[in-house]
């Protein structure tokens, strides 16, 4: 258990706080005006630990096999939590968009596991890293749009249209990055399947 792995676990434990504050702010006695700022803090903290744990592990030669497994899992938990949270409340994304993100992660994760069991390590793709950045940016932008919404400067329909537009782009890119991953690794995947 290295410090970068503790940071990764912290990111996993931080993830449920996003829906708790987004959906349960009234029960917690928090004014709706504070909700976007709290959500923004959670997202920035989560994304910062994602950047910092990997950098720290490489810098101090603390890259472990466990870390290679738990870090992408923590990323998936954090980002999928945000997408599914946004299917509820004022953002109200269609569930289909959330499942697009979820299925891609499960499918690629299953392929990686299958190939790893056969002794084949599938390398991460640049498209996957772009996908992760895109998902983080989309979530932060939607939360930023919640600020004018809670003050009454942005209508609900405009907020929902902006959110749908952003996450639709993200969903399309997520599917394309999954196809790219399969295509580039098709020989390794065939080998593992056979």
| pLDDT at residue 150, as a whole number | 97
| pLDDT at residue 32, as a whole number | 96
Report domain 3-193's class.
mainly alpha
The three state secondary structure string of the chain is CCHHHHHHHHHHHHCCHHHHHHHHCCCCCCCCCCHHHHHHHHHHHHHHHHHHHHHHHHHCCCCCHHHHHHHHHHHHHHHHHHHHHCCCCCCCCCHHHHHHHHHHHHHHHHHHHHHHHCCCCCCCCHHHHHHHHHHHHHHHHHHHHHHHHHCCCCCHHHHHHHHHHHHHHHHHHHHHHHHHHHHHCHHHHHHHHC
Domain segments of the chain as ranges: 3-193
| pLDDT at residue 121, as a whole number | 65
Residue-wise pLDDT tens for the chain (194 aa)?
788 888 889 999 999 999 999 999 999 999 999 999 999 999 999 999 988 877 777 787 877 767 777 788 888 899 999 999 999 999 999 999 999 999 998 888 888 777 777 776 666 678 878 888 999 999 999 999 999 999 999 999 999 999 999 999 999 999 998 888 888 877 777 777 77
């Amino acid at each position: 258990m290295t410090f970068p792995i503790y940071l990764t676990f912290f990111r996993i434990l931080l993830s449920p706080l996003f829906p708790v504050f987004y959906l349960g702010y009234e029960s917690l006695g928090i004014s709706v005006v504070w909700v976007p700022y709290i959500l923004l803090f959670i997202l920035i903290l989560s994304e910062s630990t994602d950047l910092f744990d990997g950098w720290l592990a490489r810098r101090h030669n603390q890259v472990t096999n466990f870390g290679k497994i738990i870090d992408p899992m923590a990323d998936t938990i954090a980002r999928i939590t945000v997408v599914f949270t946004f299917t509820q409340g004022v953002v109200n994304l269609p569930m289909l968009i959330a499942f697009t993100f979820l299925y891609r992660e499960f499918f690629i994760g299953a392929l990686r596991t299958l190939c790893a069991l056969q002794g084949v390590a599938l390398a991460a793709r640049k498209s996957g890293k772009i996908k992760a950045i895109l998902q983080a940016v989309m979530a932060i932008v939607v939360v930023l749009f919640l600020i004018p919404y809670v003050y009454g400067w942005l209508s609900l329909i405009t907020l929902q249209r902006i959110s749908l537009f952003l996450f639709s782009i993200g969903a399309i890119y997520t599917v394309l990055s999954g196809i790219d991953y399969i295509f580039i690794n098709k020989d390794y995947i065939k080998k593992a399947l056979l």
